[in-house]
Amino acid sequence: MVNLRADGSYGTPQNLTSINTEEDDITPFFHNSTQTLYYSTEGRKGLGGFDVFKAVKDYQKNDWLESKNLGKPINSSLNEASFSLNERGDKAYFASNRKGSNYLEKRFELCCEDLYTADFDFKVDLLLQTFDSGLLMNTRLEGATIKLFEKQINDSLLVVDQLTNTFSNDFSFNVERGKTYSIETTREQYVPKIEQISISMDSSDPVEKTIFLEPLEFKLEVFIYDQEHQLSIEKVKVKLSDSSDDSLVLLDEKNSKPNEAIIFSLEANKDYSLSSSKEGYEQVVDRYISTKHLVNS
């Protein structure tokens, strides 16, 4: 590559050392709108002969991301070179000596290159499903919102789609092959999650991914005092029960210590009952606690 100066003259040629191989690397084409370099090489693992590869420019590191084979049907077991792509990115042109090329005699069938064109459908379905990763592992999680981000040349993230599914855990997006997306999944009373997914250039079937969200955790601190003297009391038996289903299910039982909090772990979206007892003290009315209205830990 060379830098093009403002006056139209050229800088000093620089070897693309991170792309070149020990074999022949030929016919480079730079697609400006996607900042992607297409080239043919014999020096990388492919389908045979010269294969067309692509590498995206990483301006943050001033280098190129890992080269990727375009796969079938662009590449074959023979030679493909001189690949170019229109600005929109939906039509390609290249040369190949694959079977099916024109020839005068059978013995010259694979001797020479013909020009080919290919229509590109860069779109593929991305199918996502959301699940609870807590105690209810593998339970379908409805009501989540998923935002799909695409990384721009300047490393900023652009929202390309957003879906909220109130009644199901299934999400479907139409994405472009050869791109990397960030997936942000949020839901009330769950920890937000951001993941990345790269869509392969040779993806033809829908791409599927499962997303597990962790429920928010809550800590309940209980202090026990003598109501008359306002002093901390030890050896009080405190019981925590689940009252979500209109019946009490004992979850935990602890004894108080002087001037220390009893700590219980609570789950999101549940109702609890708290009872305490100690010999010589009157049993107080159960305290009811709910995490259904809480949105932060």
Give the model confidence (pLDDT) of 111-135 as tens digits: 788 999 998 777 889 999 999 887 5
The alpha carbon torsion through 42, 47, 53, 58 (nearest 10 deg) reads -100
156 by Cβ neighbours in 10 Å (0-12 / 13-18 / 19+) ranks as exposed
Do 209 and 243 sit in the same domain of this protein?
Answer: no
Give the separation between CA 237 and CA 90, rounded to whole angstroms.
71
Beta carbons within 10 angstroms of residue 265's beta carbon? 11
pLDDT grade for 79, boundaries at 50, 70 and 90: very high
The predicted pLDDT at position 137 comes to 60
pLDDT in tens, 231-284: 898 999 999 999 887 778 899 999 999 889 999 999 888 899 999 999 988 877
* Domain end point (choices 63, 97, 119): 119
* Domain end point (choices 213, 233, 262): 213
The predicted pLDDT at position 283 comes to 74
Q: What is the mean pLDDT of the chain?
A: 88
Q: Of all helices (H) and strands (E), which one includes residue 5?
A: none
For residue 276, the number of C-alpha atoms closer than 13 Å in the C-beta half-sphere is 18
Q: Is residue 10 part of a domain?
A: no
In the predicted model, is pLDDT for residue 160 greater than 60? yes
Mean pLDDT for 85-92 is 85
Structure-block tokens of residue 123: 């779109």
Q: Is residue 15 part of a domain?
A: no
Do 224 and 156 sit in the same domain of this protein?
Answer: no
Provide the domain count of the chain. 3
Structure-block tokens of residue 11: 């800088």
* Domain end point (choices 213, 228, 262): 213
The predicted pLDDT at position 178 comes to 75
The predicted pLDDT at position 100 comes to 76
In the predicted model, is pLDDT for residue 109 greater than 70? no
Contact partners, residue 52, CB within 8 Å, separation at least 6: 38, 39, 40, 69, 70, 74, 75, 80, 81, 83, 94
Percent of the chain predicted with pLDDT > 70: 94
Domain that holds residue 57: 25-119
Do 259 and 205 sit in the same domain of this protein?
Answer: no
The predicted pLDDT at position 135 comes to 58
Beta carbons within 10 angstroms of residue 178's beta carbon? 21
Mean pLDDT for 40-56 is 92
Q: What CATH code is carried by the domain that includes residue 260?
A: 2.60.40.10
Do 113 and 129 sit in the same domain of this protein?
Answer: no
The predicted pLDDT at position 202 comes to 60
Q: Is residue 202 part of a domain?
A: yes
The predicted pLDDT at position 87 comes to 82
Q: Is residue 71 part of a domain?
A: yes
How far out from the chain centre does Cα 35 lie?
22
